[in-house]
Each structure stands twice: as structure tokens, then as C-alpha cells.
Amino acid sequence: MSEIKEYCDTLAESILDQMWDFSLKIHAKPELAFHEHYAKKEQVALLEEEGFEIDQDITELDTAFVAKCGSGSPKIGIISEYDALPNLGHGCGHNLICASAVGTAIVLKKVLEKYHLDGTVYLFGTPAEEDGGGKIIMLKNHYFDDIDSVVFMHPTSDLTRLAGACLSSKQITIKYEGKSAHAGSHPDDGVNALSASNLFCVGTGLLRQHFKSDARFSCIITNGGQETGLIPCESEIKCSLACFNFSYLEELERRIVACAKGCGDALGCKTHVEVKDGYQGRVPNTILSEVCRKELEAIGEPLLDGMPIDYGGEDLGNVSRHIPICNPYVTIFPDYKISNHTEQFRELACSDAGKRCILVTMKSLSRTVVQLLSDPSIIDEAKQELKTRIDDELKAVTSK
């Protein structure tokens, strides 16, 4: 086993310059969600050159693809992301994600061929993580159905870590319909839709007292009328709702919607509520993460203890509720914690620290996958952990 893993390291080092050049090309040409045509083309070209079997005709997603090599089980997926941010480019470092993912897949193909290992490695090209959720669409269309486990790296700051839980979220839009009237001469003829929105903001502010500590709720009034001399006949509120427990999120949604309807009734307005599901919270997997932790330690990477939670969200969370995941966050700025989605993070993503991130990722993920292919019982344990975590999440709400 040590020979195979050392071979992974050697291969990763041998293709590092190629993957770094590729990463810089993606960084220099950022593309927004669902428009990542250049990034897809460049990844597919590299993978075709290496002899991967590639499906580019992905339902509902022009900029997605699935590449695979090997045969049989286990079936392990590697995730590539490559969309950028509006007005900021690759301020989340997705150029490093796709370069690391492609490089890891190339390493593993050579390993499978040299050592005749059983198992199939898939590379999922997933667009629109920043806005739209390409993984969710691919999950809905059954592209992940036969996958036994998934590995995915995201760049970070501070020390490298194994990801813990993150937030599940929903977006709620509330519209109140009242009746316009002249605010000076005939206010008694009006039904004030803005008053209903103001009452909702007060009501949900009071309701927060009864939320669990991890719940997050915020709202803004996006339409409060057009003229000061008229009673507003329409108003609109945009809300964000999030917490770690996905089942508890459903309960919070019911309470927010009930509050919205009650405020409308109190002011005599018609109430219209639209709820849009956001990303579901990541379900961490200790079994797989500990495998990856050992491989990161073996290559000398300093690590944070445990599996820290974070208050962000990602569409990998939806996948993690069906398939056990391994999600290392590899640092590109180890000094202290900084924010991604910033110009600083964007510049780090095309610095020498980004190149180092790609190498650490290719080594650690390829070593992790080799371990899983060699001992599929680990995946069985990871699947049981996932089932237990989902069951426990539901019990935490229903046992109140």
C-alpha cells in the first residue's frame, strides 16, 4: 500500500506544473454560473488526452460533464467546480478546485492501470456552485445514483482542515396586497401594505427569541410603496433563513410563514408567500475524513483539530445527504483566517500558495481514494455513519 501511495505522490509532482498552468488559464478567464464554457472545454481536453471516457451531454446543464476511468466497484466521485463570482472573478478559488480535481483524476487513472486496482473513478464537472446549484440538478437527474463516496477539496485560509457541518438555507419572499388611498384626505379608505411588512419585521424580531442559537434570519423590505402621499397598496420582503439542522429548518419555515400570514390578516392585507429551497447543510463524515486526515498528516500538512463547523453553505451539502463525502479545506493562507469572496483571496488563488494547494490536494485525495479502493469496508462504515447522522438529525426535532 505504501508503494502505491508513494507512486501517487510522484505522479502528482510530475504533473504539478501542467495543472498549475491550467489553473492560471481558468483564473485569467472567469465565467459566471451556467456559462463556464471555456472551463469545461479546457478540462475535457485534458481528460480526453489522458484517455478518460467522457459524457458531455448532461441533462439541463450545458457546462457540466462526467468523466470516468477504471471498472467495477467501489465507485468514487471527485468533484470539480469552476464558476466565478460577479465583478470579482475567482475570489473563491474555484480555479484551484478544478485543477486539483482534474489532476487527482489523472493520477488515479495511472494508478489504476499500473496496479490493476478494482474500482471506478468518476470526475464530476459541476457548474454554478455560486448561484444555481449544479450539483443539485445533477443529483435530481440521477448522475450520482451509483456513487459510493465523494471527495472534494475547497481552498481556505488558516490551517488546512476537514470540513464539519454547514448551514441549510431557504429564501422566502413575502408580498402584501392592500388598497391604495390618498394618505392625506382619505387614509381611512386605504389598506396599508407597508404596515403589514413593518409588522412582519417586528414580529419576526420577537420570534427570534424562540429560535435555537444556530438559527439565522434576516430580511429587507424591497418594495414599500412609490409615493409618500399614497397609502402603499403593495409591499415586498425578501428573507433569508438558515440553520444547521435541516429538519429544524422546515419547522422554522412554518413559523415564519405563519407570522407573515398573521401580520397580513392583522392589517387586512392579502398575503402571498413564496419559499425557495437553498442549499442543504453539509453532513460531515468522520470515517472518510479520518482516512483523509491520515494521508494529509503523512505528507506533512499541518491540520486543525476536529471537523470545524462553518456558517456558509454549498451545494455539496445536498449531495452529502445521499452519499458520504470527504471534504478537506486546503489552505492558501495559513497565517490566520481571512474571508473568501474577496480580492485578497482571488490574488492568493493565483499565487505560489495556490500551486502548493493543488499539490497537497492531488497527493492527499489520490492517497485517500486508493485507501478506499483497497478497503471498501471503509465505505460501508461511512454509509452507516451517514444514515445515523440523518436519523439523529430528524430525532433531534421530533423528540421535542
Which of 211, 245, 277 delimits the end of a domain? 277
Residue 59, CA distances (Å) to 53, 62, 65, 134 in order? 17, 8, 10, 11
**Average pLDDT for 94-107:** 98
Q: Does 296 share its domain with 204?
A: no
pLDDT of residue 119: 98
Q: Does 232 share its domain with 350?
A: no
Q: Does residue 399 form part of some domain? A: no
Q: pLDDT (tens digit, 9 = 90+) per residue, 40-83?
A: 999 999 999 999 999 999 999 999 999 999 999 999 999 999 99
- H runs (alpha helix) in the chain: 2-28, 37-49, 94-115, 134-140, 193-207, 246-267, 286-298, 316-320, 343-348, 352-374, 377-398
Strand runs labelled E in 143-198: 149-151, 154-157, 161-162, 168-177
Q: Does 15 share its domain with 152?
A: yes
Q: Does residue 384 form part of some domain? A: yes
Q: Does 136 share its domain with 51?
A: yes
Q: Does residue 201 form part of some domain? A: yes
Q: Does 106 share its domain with 245?
A: no
Portion of the chain with pLDDT greater than 70, in percent: 99
pLDDT exceeds 90 at position 1: no
Residue 257, CA distances (Å) to 95, 200, 272, 358 in order? 40, 10, 10, 45
Q: Does 57 share its domain with 182?
A: no
pLDDT exceeds 70 at position 400: no
Q: Does 286 share its domain with 215?
A: no
pLDDT exceeds 80 at position 384: yes
Q: Does 271 share its domain with 292?
A: no
Q: pLDDT (tens digit, 9 = 90+) per residue, 323-370?
A: 999 999 999 999 999 999 999 999 999 999 999 999 999 999 999 999
pLDDT exceeds 80 at position 398: no
Q: Rounded to 5 degrees, what angle do the CA atoms 299, 305, 308 make?
A: 115
Starting at the edge strand found earlier in the chain, the sheet holding 328-333 runs: 154-157, 328-333, 161-162
Q: How far apart are CA 221 and CA 237, in angstroms?
A: 4
Q: Does residue 398 form part of some domain? A: no
CATH number of the domain to which 238 belongs: 3.30.70.360
Q: How far apart are CA 230 and CA 181, in angstroms?
A: 6
Q: Does residue 377 form part of some domain? A: yes
Q: Does 53 share its domain with 160?
A: yes
Q: Does residue 173 form part of some domain? A: yes
Number of domains in the chain: 2
Question: Average pLDDT, whole number, for the chain?
Answer: 97
pLDDT exceeds 90 at position 399: no
In this prediction the pTM is 0.93
Q: Does residue 389 form part of some domain? A: yes
Domain extent, residue 41, equals 2-166+281-393
CATH number of the domain to which 16 belongs: 3.40.630.10
Q: Does residue 400 form part of some domain? A: no
- Of residues 160, 179, 315, the one with CA closest to residue 235: 179
Residue 38, CA distances (Å) to 29, 44, 73, 137 in order? 8, 10, 32, 20
Which of 246, 277, 308 delimits the end of a domain? 277
pLDDT of residue 395: 81
Q: Does 204 share its domain with 332?
A: no
Cβ–Cβ under 8 Å, residues 132 and 85: no
Q: pLDDT (tens digit, 9 = 90+) per residue, 241-299?
A: 999 999 899 999 999 999 999 999 999 999 999 999 999 999 999 999 999 999 999 99
Q: Does 288 share its domain with 360?
A: yes
Which of 254, 277, 300 delimits the end of a domain? 277
Q: pLDDT (tens digit, 9 = 90+) per residue, 120-175?
A: 999 999 999 999 999 999 999 999 999 999 999 999 999 999 999 999 999 999 99
Q: Does 246 share its domain with 213?
A: yes
